[in-house]
Amino acid sequence: MQGTVATFDPRTHTGTLLLDDGSEVAFPAAAFRASGLRLLRLGQRVTIEADAAGDVIKVQVPGIS
């Protein structure tokens, strides 16, 4: 799935994404840490991996991770 960063807290490494289908999804710090990234910008395009329950487990920048 792809979307854009709607919110990101650099202290807690948590945030929310606005998916291309218009839905909003939150991601935990563990999903950010799994990406290997250091920072996300508001409006940045990302792809996500989700588990079977639909929880975000990894946030990636397309073409980087």
Q: List the chain domain ranges.
A: 2-60
CATH class name, domain 2-60: mainly beta
Neighbours of 23 (CB within 10 A): 10
pLDDT at 15: 96
* CB of 61 closer than 8 Å to CB of 45: yes
pLDDT number for residue 62: 86
Q: What's the rounded mean pLDDT across residues 37-44? A: 93
Q: Which helix (H) or strand (E) holds 27?
A: strand 24-27
pLDDT band at residue 32 under the 50/70/90 scheme = very high
Beta bridge mates, 2 = 47
The average pLDDT across 41-51 equals 95
Tokens read off for 45: 């395009």
H or E element that contains 29: helix 29-33
- Is 63 a residue whose pLDDT tops 90? no
Neighbour tally for 13: CB within 10 Å: 20
